Amino acid sequence: MKSPRTLGLLALALAIPLLTVLPLPDFWFTQLNTIGLYSLTCLGLVLLTGVGGLTSFGQAAFVGIGAYTTAVLTVQLNVSPWLTLFIGLALTAACALVLAAITLRMSGHYLPLATIAWGLSLYYLMGNLEALGKYDGISGVKTLAIGGLDFGEGRGFFVLTWAIVLLAAAAVLHLLDSRAGRAIRSLKGGAQMAEAMGINTFRYKVTVFLLAALLASISGWLFAHFQRSVSPTAFGLKMGIEYLFMTVVGGVAHVWGALVGAGLIKLLDDQLQVLLPRLIGTSGSYEIIVFGIVLVLVLKYLPDGLWDMVEKKLPRRQRRNDWGDAAPLPERAKPAAGELLLDVQAIRKEFGGLVAVNDISFQIRAGQIVGLIGPNGAGKSTTFNLITGVLQMTRGQVVFAGEALDRLPSREIARRGMARTFQHVKMIPDMTVLENVALGAHLRGQRGVLSAMTRLNREEERRLFREAQRQLERIGMGAHLHEQAGNLAMGQQRLMEIARALCSDPALLLLDEPAAGLRHKEKQDLVAVLRQLQRERMSILLVEHDMDMVMEVCDHLVVMEFGTLLTQGTPAQVQQDPKVRAAYLGTEH
Ligand code: ADP
Ligand code: MG
């Protein structure tokens, strides 16, 4: 059985040639062509803004680059339009990469502001350059043709445009359902977690930025040959805002939302241009006001857009489990039991005047479970974050498997075989459990964006899912593979995080308060998992409040208080230590 989404794609693909033979007025095709052109740009915005969380008001500028490139080259230099498409894409890519390098490290509202800035600059550049025809633009652009076949501006162009739209939609859908796509889906709410899984989030931000720009550029190329002319107004800031508007109304996080939004806004725009002058009695750009009101209403009552409503009614896509016989992923060479694995040497972290971690030293040998304990605020999580590179230490050194981790970012430390969970569970709530766990195996795959779009990544995907399922079964979560992660109970979410960490095939596993907030039964399940990992000789650093659990599973304990090392030793030694009793367990014990 095909999913409704695949069926939708097939239905549209069939509808394209069918529509052209129906006796529909030409005007319809002009409308549908414009909607197709808008859809391409909006598809890019779905990737960039809806999924990637990077808001851009400047996409119209990339449409402009594609359109002007082909207009100038075909009209003035008589270059073939099939060549100018690629020249336009190359130019767009170059511009996008420069802009990305400058703006994508900006946080908060600075990125949208920057996109407005370049949207405006490109508009005035196009409008003031003599060679680009200033504000009049360039006319006399020819329609697209192959040999004797002219695509024209009507039915032929419709088939070409919508074939490209559907191919692009399918490519984006495939991309989002892949190793690279899961990384892209973690950009918006899970960047810190993704980095801890070894994902280079900046690189993926640049990737979606580039893809969105390229889609806009293709739209511009088509636009120039459809409109037969280019002028700056079609690529100005107002259009940039409209693209974002269409995408938000349609459903900014959904591929089909782009098409729905583009269609709806275009049709609404046309209706209003006829209707409003009749109602008000004068003509003018009053439709802008109506759009503003519509946008406010949509943001208030349907913040996820129209398609989101439809999506919720469709059956959830059930992934077909076809990876049972996939080849196992490669495993890293593990240190021999008893070998020195982690050597923490006098690490220190100051937050302003507060010494959160005060020259702490301890060691972990391969196969050991070491507990890091201490009252709230003792500095355990901070120690954890220093070791895993989430925070940079003020001074000190961590040596892992013989290598000094001098200020490496967390993704590089993950690559060397450290995997962690977080005190506050970090996951992508709208991905399935299986997909969340597969994020942990990111570094064990290689397939990128292009192989995902063209479905050449299937074999590797099967291997990744097989591993994710294996790790989930290993910790007793095999029954929850296809559930949405956000719907899991707290205990299951914590287990899922452990499975995700295990998926990276770690040499050292770091668990930050895995039992916090768990019910009694969930705690027992967790202890069973830890015991099993102990039998498998997994090396673990465990931060935990639950004394019974720590005493039960740990080989060695490190006790912290106010950032300082209080004592360390076997659980029995630590339990007898009067200092620990006074400071941590309370004297009444
Ligand atoms: P624990 O995990 O042992 O409960 P933490 O490592 O979270 O303790 O915190 C240790 C101390 O450092 C606390 O006093 C906490 O308030 C402080 N602290 C932790 N993170 C930060 C931060 N990002 N900025 C300032 N102070 C911090
Ligand atoms: Mg903590």
H helices of 177-286, where? 179-185, 191-196, 201-227, 237-250, 255-280
Q: How far is the CA of 503 from the centre of ligand 1 (A)?
A: 29
Q: For tokens 């060549």, name the residue.
A: 83
CB atoms within 10 A of CB 484: 16
Ligand 1 atom nearest to CA at 391 = 23
Tokens of 52: 């990637």
CA–centroid distance for 35 within its chain? 27
Ligand 1 pocket test, candidate residues 349, 354, 387, 512, most atoms within 8 A of CB: 354
Of the ligands numbered here, which is closest to the C-alpha atom of 377? 1
DSSP string, 139-191: E-PPPPEETTEE--SSHHHHHHHHHHHHHHHHHHHHHHSSHHHHHHHTTTT-H
Q: Give the residue whose CA is nearest to atom 25 of ligand 1.
A: 351
Q: Which amino acid is residue 201, in one-letter code? A: T
CB-based pocket (< 6 A), ligand 1: 351, 354, 356, 374, 376-382
Strands of 329-461 (E only): list them.
Answer: 340-351, 354-365, 369-373, 395-400, 403-404, 418-420
For residue 27, count CB atoms less than 10 angstroms from its CB and return exposed for 0-12, middle for 13-18, buried for 19 or more. Answer: exposed
What is the predicted pLDDT for the residue at 240?
Answer: 94
- In this prediction, the residues of the chain whose per-residue pLDDT falls under 70 are 1-5, 283-284, 584-589
Ligand 1 atom nearest to CA at 380 = 3
Instruction: Report pTM.
Output: 0.93
Q: How far is the CA of 546 from the centre of ligand 1 (A)?
A: 19
Q: How far is the CA of 377 from the centre of ligand 2 (A)?
A: 7
Helix (H) and strand (E) counts in the chain: 23, 14
Q: Using an 8 Å Cβ cutoff, are 341 and 478 in contact?
A: no
Ligand 1 pocket test, candidate residues 382, 558, 562, most atoms within 8 A of CB: 382
Tell how strand 354-365 and strand 418-420 pair up.
Answer: unpaired
